[in-house]
Structure 1
Amino acid sequence: MLKIIDKYILKRYLITFTVMLLMFIPIGIVIDVSEKINKILANKVPFIEVASYYLDFTIYFANLLFPIFLFLSVIWFTSKLANNTEIIAILSSGISFTRFMRPYIIGATTVSLFALIMSVYLVPSASLGFLSFRYRYLNSYAKNAKGDQTNVLRQISKDEYIYVSSFNDISKMAFNFSMEKFKDEKLEYKLTASRLKYNAKDSTYTLFNYTKRKVGVLNDIIESGEKKDTVFNFDLDDLTPVVYIAETLPLQELNKFIDKERQRGSSNINVYLVVLYKKYSLPVSAFILTIIAVAVSSMKRRGGMGMNLAIGIILAFAFVFLDKVFGVLAEASSAPPMLAVWTPNIVFGILAIYLLRNAKR
């Protein structure tokens, strides 16, 4: 059974974190509204869709930034404990620093489990609503055809590639479609069409103003026409941006999607793996940042809370910087995605051990 001091610290941990979220998320919403209100009014977006967008916005960014909010909230209330000499009193009573950290670890476990459940079940749905709204109403290229998604290049099998200049998810229409088939690293045929429409009733596609050029040994064979119904071996989701797909899939569907892309030999597999691994790395970072926050702010400093917060903000920006750099590195290079995604946690984990040892002294 938790002792009084454990309940006291755990209560402060969870309440301060919740208040931090409730303070900063409305600020983020206000800033986002001020930046996008002109486009929302110009596109005459229904109020219910705007309200739904900002609900998804709240879930999306709360999940994305919760380690930073948690880190700053722990520094804030632990610094207050240190300035009020409460920590000195606790440690002077014979409680070890490791035992003192127990309620912090319990709090980090609670928040991490909640964040993991959110990332598996709630965040994909919120990401779908959030990103769909942005593509439909807020992107500058969505002028006449709302919902366009531009310049999508996908590898759908080992030797086949498709490209569309834009895709409208309302009409299920792709524009400037092309498909290339290679054999032994040589072009076998290329199919182009001004438009490609998906027919949901029978899962077929309709080509408009199409041309198919089959490369021959001596002469090419060209087939063209105004309209043709056909079947392709790619899904409708293949016409959407790669990250857009990965971020909106629940965990089981994301794993199946990644397996399918591996079999296809997709060159974008690292992008999907980064999204998958971050579902697990972000909750773990709550533990690491909690340990660092306690180690930094448990000592009473000459600069008081201001000095602890300054150190905390510097470390928070350093964590975000590493997370972004290694995430982009994994997506744009041959670096192992798992190592790249977990590198910030590894680096800050080592820092946490070092700071914790100094704090115990």
Structure 2
Amino acid sequence: MKLLDKYIISKFLTAFFFTVVMLVSVICVIDYTEKNDDFIHHNLSFGHVFTHYYVYLFPYFANLLSPITIFLAVVFVTARLAARTEIVAMLASGMSFMRLLLPYLMGASIIGVLTFGLVGWVIPKGTKEIVLFESLHVKEPWRFEGRNVHMKISPKSYVYLESYSSGNNTGFHFALETFDGTILRRRMTADNLAWDSVKHAWKMSPQLVRTFVGTQQETLHTIPARDTTMNLYPKDFANTYRLAETLTSPELDALIANKILRGADDTAQYLSVHYERFAYPFDILILTFIGVV
């Protein structure tokens, strides 16, 4: 790395971090102004809000705005170099445009790698704290209010619940249906089931099982109350507000794999976040190139 490369990279990184700090600071001030009534309502001091909310919100916004801030930083640095005729001197000395672009791309690569690490492992943990704080002090208390819930738990199995109480993790009027293609092969029903957090299993009331053979034959038998496991958990009824953003990349991949295994139809939103995280470094490189050009 030559002295010129170090010079441009230092100018570039300095401009980038300065732009991030200034822009995100303004956004946080505006955000604080909008939510101040909620903070006063809950008797929260500025110190508590800062250490439990804005210390996590600042890097979240910084990462969110990193592509546009890096573009602004590139334009600013290039304009400064051009105003001082430094770029003219570089090109007049025989330096090619691609050689001039190299230190910009090196700086963008540093930021891209840093951003990829932050967005995949660090920022999701902070986002989890943001969501927790907002659920306690900004948004209305959450509870599961779904009725007549249908959920796919495997490629061939569907669960139905007339209602579910998230307070005590209890479901009512439960049904588990197993299909072969479009043909119903088995249906198990129970009045209720409750989650046992010690055994990590469902306590299920007596069940009635219907097994369908062919198109007209049907057998019935009962099963006494028991503990059982299935690919269904209380977290499936938990608050999914910004769930994908609160998961690290390995956790997000595990969630997507589980949904694909189930044959669920709502994987698109999680795959979108997954691909978005991998796209960030490339966004930065592309916008850096555009800014220099």
Taking structure 2 as the reference length, the TM-score comes to: 0.78
Q: Which residue of 1 aligns with 2:19?
A: 20
Query: What's the offset of the Cα at 1:255?
Result: 1.9
Residues 229, 40 of structure 1: alpha-carbon distance in 2 compared, 3 angstrom cutoff: farther
Q: Which residue of 2 aligns with 1:355?
A: none
Residues 105, 156 of structure 1: alpha-carbon distance in 2 compared, 3 angstrom cutoff: same
Query: Unaligned 5+ residue runs, structure 2?
Result: none
Please give the residue correspondences for 1:93-242 in structure 2 after superposition, counting only pairs within 5 Å.
Answer: 93-139=93-139, 142=140, 146-148=141-143, 154-158=151-155, 159-161=157-159, 173=169, 181=177, 183-184=179-180, 185=182, 188=187, 198-204=195-201, 232-242=230-240
Please give the residue correspondences for 1:68-107 in structure 2 after superposition, counting only pairs within 5 Å.
Answer: 68-107=68-107
SS, match of residue 247 in structure 2: coil
In the alignment, is the contact (CA less than 8 A) between 1:74 and 1:290 conserved in 2? yes
Please give the residue correspondences for 1:283-298 in structure 2 after superposition, counting only pairs within 5 Å.
Answer: 283-295=281-293
Residues 279, 38 of structure 1: alpha-carbon distance in 2 compared, 3 angstrom cutoff: same
Q: What is the alpha-carbon distance in structure 1 between the residues aligned to residue 190 and residue 88 of structure 2?
A: 74
SS, match of residue 263 in structure 1: helix
SS, match of residue 124 in structure 1: helix
Deviations along 1:262-288, whole A, 9 cap, x unmatched? 110010112221111111101111100
Q: Which residue of 2 aligns with 1:323?
A: none
SS, match of residue 244 in structure 1: coil
Taking structure 1 as the reference length, the TM-score comes to: 0.65
Richer in helix (by share)? 1
Deviations along 1:176-209, whole A, 9 cap, x unmatched? 897663535477466677xx865433324578xx
Query: What's the offset of the Cα at 1:132?
Result: 2.4
In the alignment, is the contact (CA less than 8 A) between 1:156 and 1:162 conserved in 2? no
Query: What's the offset of the Cα at 1:234?
Result: 1.4
Deviations along 1:35-80, whole A, 9 cap, x unmatched? 1122233244575365222122112222222111111111122122
Query: What's the offset of the Cα at 1:243?
Result: 6.4
Q: What is the alpha-carbon distance in structure 2 between the residues aligned to residue 41 and residue 120 of structure 1?
A: 34
RMSD, aligned CA: 3.6
Deviations along 1:93-119, whole A, 9 cap, x unmatched? 111111011110110010001011112
The alignment covers a number of residue pairs equal to: 278
Deviations along 1:12-47, whole A, 9 cap, x unmatched? 100000001110111111111111122233244575
Query: What's the offset of the Cα at 1:250?
Result: 1.9
Q: What is the alpha-carbon distance in structure 2 between the residues aligned to residue 198 and residue 149 of structure 1?
A: 15
In the alignment, is the contact (CA less than 8 A) between 1:71 and 1:289 conserved in 2? yes
Q: Which residue of 1 aligns with 2:272?
A: 274
Q: Which residue of 1 aligns with 2:40?
A: 41
In the alignment, is the contact (CA less than 8 A) between 1:147 and 1:167 conserved in 2? no
- The percent of aligned pairs where both chains have the same amino acid is 27
Q: Which residue of 2 aligns with 1:298?
A: none
Q: What is the alpha-carbon distance in structure 1 between the residues aligned to residue 130 and residue 191 of structure 2?
A: 32
Query: What's the offset of the Cα at 1:257?
Result: 2.0
The residue type equivalent to 2:34 in the other structure is E
The residue type equivalent to 2:32 in the other structure is V
Residues 179, 12 of structure 1: alpha-carbon distance in 2 compared, 3 angstrom cutoff: farther
Richer in strand (by share)? 2
In the alignment, is the contact (CA less than 8 A) between 1:199 and 1:205 conserved in 2? yes
The residue type equivalent to 1:99 in the other structure is R
In the alignment, is the contact (CA less than 8 A) between 1:161 and 1:179 conserved in 2? yes
SS, match of residue 181 in structure 1: strand
